[in-house]
Structure 1
Amino acid sequence: MRKWITILTAGMLVLILSACGQTAEPKEDPMTGEKEEVVVKSELTASEVMEKANAASETQRSMHSDMEIMQTLEMGDEKQDINSTIDMDMIIEPLAMRQTMNMQVGDEEMAIEQYMTEEGFFMKDPQSGGWIKLPNEMYEEVTGQMAGMTESPVDFTMYEEYAEDFTFEETNDEYVLTLIGSGEKFSELMQEMLEKNMPAGADEAMLEETDMKVEKVDLQFTIDKKTFFTKNFDMDMIMTMDEQGQQVKVTQNIKGTMTKINEIDEIKIPKEILDNAQELDKK
């Protein structure tokens, strides 16, 4: 169970999907069922919107994000609830990050604070409350991993087979793309995403030996009409993974909001942390 907690909570899934060629319908209110009045209806197709969103993402230099992650892992009679919130500022190049994560695993609560800039990678020890400076190699490793995600353009041909599963709606200010699906082809997608976003040091061989089935995946992306930046996403997922006869059922909801896009110019590590952090040698 702990191996799966490590893989499923340490890595963030970056899900960027294209959609079919229909133009947007006015967004329906989930409570009343009534469609929102759209003053100027867009003539763009869903695929065109996603292409523009992909191009906009390559101009993204910085952002703030807030995420809520609720997970339940079940293996036999064992059940584990994991709830996390993440508050993060990020500058893409050179990579710099300030992150606060609050995680509750069962009855245990843990707060993790991190700073990462060219001055080093610093983490607050949850037990002692003191700051630790991690080895310089770890900054280089994380930078290398992030480079692959931030510099490579998205290959939309990867997602053509999912086109018919999308709905495409709009409001006066936003495009809304929604995917509801299940079955083998979504299992292949999730396997690929997990492998791509595997955290450093995780057991990749375990994923290769795992039979993964997606029972349900609901994704919703909201894209700003003016900037084509992704404003938020919501993912509900239920999947089972069978590894050498051991079956794990994962129920997960992830909500994310992105703000202050290209508005963060600097992330500074407080002088108190720089002066007092204890260096941790890499073994």
Structure 2
Amino acid sequence: MAASDLEIRAAEDELRRGFQTLEVVQKDPAVPVYHIYLNRAAQRNALTVPFFSELPRALSLLSVLPSARALVLAARGPHFCSGIDLEALRSLTPSPSPSPAAAADLLRGRILSLQAAISSLERFRKPVVAAIQGACVGGGVDLAAACDIRYCSDDAFFVVKEVDLALAADLGSLQRLPHIIGYGNAVDLALTCRRVSALEAKAMGLVSRVFPSPSALEEGVDQLAKGLAEKSSVAVMGTKAVLLKSRDQKVDEGLDYVATWNSAMLMSPDLEEAVAAHIQKRKPNFSKL
């Protein structure tokens, strides 16, 4: 169901008021693409406790806007993300409790809440492109892995850091990376905690393209996002939903799911418009969602 004008204005107003850890920008009002910037450059965009409530809130607001047909996740400063802030990590640990079971249950709830914040990128219905420069470490890899497409500059490097902190990564890298780069590569990165260059990340499929500089990365990602925003939102959202659903299903289950999806979505006027535009050799005018 499309949002009402009142809901759209309320979402735009809240986005304008801003966030503590994020900056949300629509660079060109004529281009239906929004950028979410991690905005703690002095701290190498380490993820603090407020981030984990602000990211899903920003995404919820953007989901209301017809002008947000594609999203870029990027970062201010020379580094994408250095991982979870150590103070935030300490704050996860419950105070001493006479009941180990109660303490474990509390900690589990806190971890699930952080996981949900990262997964909100994956669950955002429109395509999300990660633009990665400099360090992408720990929680930064979790964020990147939850995006749909990943581009980086040639100075980028990636580290799954948690084992070196005496932890098992628990925000999504161990679940998503095997699907992205293969099980063997995922085990290598997760157990060794070694630094992976941009070119190696490209070779293993962690990123799709490598650009010669952060400015070239920004330009390339903006072109990609603009192109995605020009496509049928019905088709793009359906493709994303089906890919995610099929990732964790057997082929037969995935085929059944996409049949169910398209039994409704193929009745979209976007299909008729796409065919007409192709025949008439013009740019299609897709519906806004």
Same fold (TM over 0.5): no
Q: Higher helix share goes to which structure?
A: 2
Q: Higher strand share goes to which structure?
A: 1
Structure showing greater relative contact order (alpha-carbon pairs closer than 8 Å, 6 or more residues apart): 1
TM-score of the superposed pair, with normalisation by structure 2: 0.21
TM-score of the superposed pair, with normalisation by structure 1: 0.21
